[in-house]
Structure 1
């Protein structure tokens, strides 16, 4: 049975990504798709980009990826904007040792697509038409079902950092909070699946989150422990990253 890993919102958290990659390898996954926000917030953008380049089929352009590579949106909070500036300084090519590698990483971030269509699956970051908008309740999910999915049956998203499943049948939207490891099958007309966050979960569970999708149409959410202390300590050492970015990793918020 073919297996696919879907990850999102890694946010330069190397420890979380390495732990998830080990779990993905143990599950004999054939392909890895990333739904954006590869960088931003965390202390290891270069290393995370390198892992993505070597292992992911694609990385959707998240709002933090775009802020680092282009212009920081006015709606960004000060903490997020400061982290984006710091990340930009870390990855932007300069005439120094490693310039060639930095240039490759910079181009990789610039060339990220805004969405990917894989058969009846649609992959995006925030929603199909914007990497800034949040699908966080039945009302916003209904807008996506009605206006943004086209002919797609399942839309995979990230951005909220909260795993969840929205389904629509007969014009009615329902929400389900997924359980770790439980296998789900989409029997509804359409579904929106938020795959959660690898590097900065916000559902009260500090473990990294990713989705395992199978060729039989079933999927499950995986939670993975990682060394939070190590990444938090590196955040605390960086003047360009606020200490709260490390603190929140311990509680998953």
Structure 2
């Protein structure tokens, strides 16, 4: 059984809760879908914890690309740019090199894993059918399921040509009004289930508020509301 973890965002208490839940379910391996450190109070610790997971397949998200110095599409808001620069300061050169070298997709059986969509780490799918779905999906090489994140909203639905679209939600920063950490599990027969795990959100909020930078205080509000506010 695989656990599928996306959008960790440096939230170590949420990650620990999900790992414990996955272990109790008998998970033997992991797929890690990107955005590991940015926007979080524990960037180094979160990456270090992920590196101890057994049988883990990693892909990059937009935060890993931004970590490399490619900032052309970082949103010009009070959180993104200062948080990305804080992430660069917090991660050592060796960790940065590993994260920026990650592939953008991974294929396991009939499932394609990507960060936002198969050909972009920024343009993703929504819970409802959209005119852009077919273009965003593109050629998936015969995959019958595409797993992605980026929007921090947990859902599953059928996409173009019958391809199943699955967003396991965000471990560290849910944006669907439910403050529990979100992830998915895939059983040996391919059955995918979505899960939520309660954790100590107040610990994360306090750590962000104590961080001392304005962007972190804003993210603390996002954790509290489980959506951008």
Q: CA contact under 8 A between 1:58 and 1:112: conserved in structure 2?
A: no
RMSD of the TM alignment (CA)? Answer: 1.6
Aligned to 1:97: none
Structure 2 counterparts to residues 1-253 of structure 1, below 5 A: 3-55=1-53, 57-78=56-77, 79-93=79-93, 103=94, 105-136=95-126, 137-139=128-130, 140-145=132-137, 147-168=138-159, 189-240=162-213, 241-253=215-227
In 2, distance between residues paired with 1:31 and 1:73?
A: 34
Q: CA contact under 8 A between 1:38 and 1:59: conserved in structure 2?
A: no
Helix, strand or coil: the match of 2:52? Answer: helix
Q: Give the paired residue count.
A: 222
**Could you tell me the TM-score, scaled by structure 1's length?**
0.83
Helix, strand or coil: the match of 2:150? Answer: coil
Over residues 104-150 of structure 1, what are the superposed CA-to-partner deviations in whole Å (9 max), with x where a residue is unaligned? Answer: x22221221110111211000010101011212412333344x2322
In 2, distance between residues paired with 1:117 and 1:88?
A: 29
- CA displacement at 1:168 relative to structure 2: 4.0
Q: CA contact under 8 A between 2:133 and 2:159: conserved in structure 1?
A: no
- CA displacement at 1:221 relative to structure 2: 0.9
In 2, distance between residues paired with 1:50 and 1:229?
A: 22
**Which of 1 and 2 has greater Rg?**
1
In 2, distance between residues paired with 1:57 and 1:238?
A: 30
In 2, distance between residues paired with 1:239 and 1:159?
A: 26
In 2, distance between residues paired with 1:9 and 1:212?
A: 15
**Could you tell me the TM-score, scaled by structure 2's length?**
0.91
Q: CA contact under 8 A between 1:141 and 1:192: conserved in structure 2?
A: no
- CA displacement at 1:190 relative to structure 2: 1.9
